[in-house]
Amino acid sequence: MTNPNQTYTVLFSAGESSGDQHAAHMFQELQKLHPALRGIGMGGSKMMQAGIDIRFDSSGIGVIGLVEVLKHYGEIRLALNLMKAIVTSEKPDLLVCVDYKEFNLKLARYAKARGVKVLFYVSPQVWAWRPGRVVTYGKAIDMMAVIFPFETAYYEAENVPVRYVGHPSVDKVHPLYSKEEDFKRFDLDDAGLVVGILPGSRANEIKRMLPIMLKAAETLAQSHPDMQFLLPQADSVGDDALQGYLKTCPLPIKVIKHQPYDAIQCCDSVMTTSGTASLEIALLGVPMLIAYRLSPLTYWLGKQLVKIPFIGLPNIIAGRAIVKELIQDEASAESISAEIERLLTDHAYRGNCLEGLKLVKDRLGEGGGSKNMADLALDMLRRG
């Protein structure tokens, strides 16, 4: 048993909005177990609010796709060099890499070569493409923490230390208020349908998807004049990123800040991009469609590499198409509005979707991901 007053320094590296949230919740659980522990690193507003000393704000580098990464290469390289310098100068007791795969792989290699223990949180999707990465990551880390139960087998097969910790979203996806209270708080009319618009948490996602989603909303409003639209604004997205598009939209779109789950639970259906948001909507049991566009080059490369039929986490976890996916040219305002219309009016179709979402929730289990991560990290720290 170690001294509870012993100070540990944990360096966190999170480059995207979801990773920022995962790291923040993990750190809060860590501090409950060991209050003397100190957190520093790269992340966003959630980590800062949790008490982590943010040395680099990652909100500007959470991009996806080859073309987008190249555009932000200078800033990403600056962040990596800064994090390497922190490893060298402050010699943290543990590095926790949260998602942001390629960046964190480079950082993990650097840290491990300098004697810093490395815990990697959220496995790369080796079950979707490049399974050989299991060995690559295994050489750079001391422990891989996976969030889906089926992922452990890939690492065990290569003798890479692995622990299933559960998906962090299961714990945190809970509205603060009842649906009835939220209808009053958001000034919604319970006689009208409510549709959610989730254009993503990255600037390039919003640029590609929000104009299309707003056009789809206009089409829906023509058939349903009393329809209401909610847009839960991701914490990583500034007001400026949205307002330029919203100003030109003739509809009264209600933007909801800092309360995504309360907003989503009010919705009869949701149009969303892929990623963690789709999983959170599934956990809340709201029918949805997933629409996504990448740069043509990134999409082409992805088609060559990815070997699974779905991009949406609900479909991947369920093992079948429970949510419609509209990708690239298919992600048009017409197709999005048509799918939302079907989810709202075709009761059998809606019922099948709801059954599938329940299956996803059941397969993710009881949760405890952030607490399990904290236990794992503290165990690694105490083993020295």
pLDDT greater at residue 63 or residue 121:
121
Beta strands in the chain, from DSSP E residues, in sequence order = 9-14, 38-43, 53-57, 94-98, 117-121, 143-146, 162-164, 194-198, 228-233, 253-257, 269-272, 288-292, 324-327
Is residue 109 one of the residues assigned to a domain?
yes
Task: Please tell me the predicted confidence (pLDDT) of residue 367.
Answer: 84
Q: For all residues of the chain together, what is the average pLDDT?
A: 91
Residue 67 has pLDDT above 60, yes or no: no
Looking at residue 216, what is its pLDDT? 98
* pLDDT at position 12: 98
* 242: alpha, beta or left? (left if phi > 0; alpha if psi -120 to 50): alpha
Q: Is residue 102 part of a domain?
A: yes
Domain count for the chain, please give it.
2
pLDDT given at position 221 = 96
Are 293 and 321 members of one domain? yes
CATH number, domain at 303?
3.40.50.2000
**What are the φ/ψ torsions at residue 19 (nearest 5 degrees)?**
-65, -35
Find the domain containing 68 and state its range.
Answer: 9-168+368-382
Residue 174: inside a domain, yes or no?
A: no
Residues 372 and 340 both lie in one domain: no
pTM of the model: 0.75
Residue for token pair 């500007």: 60
191 shares its domain with 155: no
Distance of CA 175 to the CA centre of its chain: 17
Same domain, residue pair 359 and 373: no
Give yes or no: residues 164 and 184 share one domain: no
**Same domain flag for 202 and 161:** no
pLDDT in tens, 270-328: 999 988 899 999 999 999 999 988 777 766 666 666 666 788 899 988 889 999 999 98
Handedness of CA 170, 172, 176, 181 (dihedral sign): negative
* pLDDT at residue number 172: 85
Q: Is the pLDDT of residue 198 over 80?
A: yes
> Among 1-15, 221-235, 311-325, which stretch is predicted with the lowest mean pLDDT?
1-15
Q: Which of 28-32, 65-69, 125-129, 298-302 has the highest mean pLDDT?
A: 28-32
For residues 281 and 317, the answer to whether their CB atoms sit within 8 Å is: no
- Same domain for 212 and 147: no
At 269, is the secondary structure helix, strand, or coil? Answer: strand
Torsional sign, CA 225, 228, 234, 240: positive
Beta partners for residue 325, in sequence order: 290
Q: Are residues 20 and 110 in the same domain?
A: yes
